[in-house]
Structure 1
Amino acid sequence: MFVLVRKVCNKLKVHLAINEINILYLKINKPDFYQTKRSNFGLISLIESDLYASWRQALTRNNTMTTKSRCFKIAEEKFKEIQNHFPELKMIINYDDEHVDLSMDIPKQDGVDFEINLNLQNEDELHLATAYIWCQFFSADSEELVDKFYQSVIGLINGEYRILQFVNGDKVYKTLLQKLNGLDWETIYTGYERWRMPWTKVEKNVIQNRTESKLIRTYKASS
């Protein structure tokens, strides 16, 4: 029986300590826990089911904690890298934000024409938010998306990226985050989009830091 338990554990890739195996062995042989009339096959199936359920629960808890702590560390490191990239700018990391896991505020100041908020929420979502666009980069477990988030923040601050809005009257119909690629602007993120009639005319509203933007008017993306 002990050998059979070992085989089940190996099949499930569960690495049990010797004491835990001994306890399991005793548990199996307790007549009040398992019916003595069960066949070896049925008994082992039940053991496998119990072990698998316990293993899955432990694995889920461990993965959740690992993902949360790993993404928090990634976000914290990136926020500090952004601070170090612009040491002349005021940036405030908030570890006690009641709405998100971690945030950093970059207030309007010399060198920053509009407020920027960076945050980590729902354990693994990186967000770049302004009054004109809100970008979500999911998941913070993805090295590619974390780099995209980082480059977007750097580009937005140094003016290499821009926010392009399509507006009509007091309504925003589309908002894009773009970077210059050669002579053309490449869209990095579509942050807001409202359905419009084909005949509805829109104008472009450009928001670009450290540049004398040709603003039509300033609208919030939630308008």
Structure 2
Amino acid sequence: MTVLVITGTGTEVGKTVATAAVAAAAVAAGRSVAVLKPAQTGLLPGERGDADEVARLAGAVTAVELARYPEPLAPATAARRAGLAPVRPEQMAEAAGKLATEHDLVLVEGAGGLLVRFADEGGTLADAARLLGAPVLVVASAGLGTLNTTELTARELRSQRLDLLGVVVGSWPNDPDLASRCNLADLPRVAGAPLLGALPEGSGRLTPAAFRATAASRLAPRLGGTWDARSFTAAAQRP
């Protein structure tokens, strides 16, 4: 796996922290890593973006951003309102392909969910994944409502004949409720793909050293870690 596309089931599900964890585990294993953020919204020039945050947490990571728009909107809307050119799937694929010639692993972090438009006439992260022939990792929330959004995302990936690598819980609560605990068993069922990790709530607030030291223990071997979904799920079900 040279290129991995990372999407969320929506916004604020822990996608950037999950991307950083995958990057940190790869760096710890001696791999060279790049993270590509096709479109960063809601930030002005000079402010730290998602790709920069991945590099801060994960360490020696090449951070690349193709476009930045100041308003916190979907990329297509933000580009139109700013009077700036949108980013198209062909540009994403070309940039990721170039990075792949220079790095062992390229992580392409989307904006929001899988079908968020990058241009008014269309163009989504799914289109970029298809052009790249890359698998997709889905980052989901833990609690009530996540089964629906995860299954919808998984169904869309399959309808487009894209490879769903698995699901990562982007923020596992410090005090999980009943829905969150049950969802650990149900998420892989509705996704039709394995659960590949769970990042503890607040992981992004750890020091970089602490984040890197624990990243691999939060991810399954498929993502370069040591986390075991079965034992984690069983422990979560105990009273």
> Rg bigger for which structure?
1
Which one has the bigger helix percentage? Answer: 2
TM range (shorter): under 0.3
TM-score normalized by the length of structure 2: 0.24
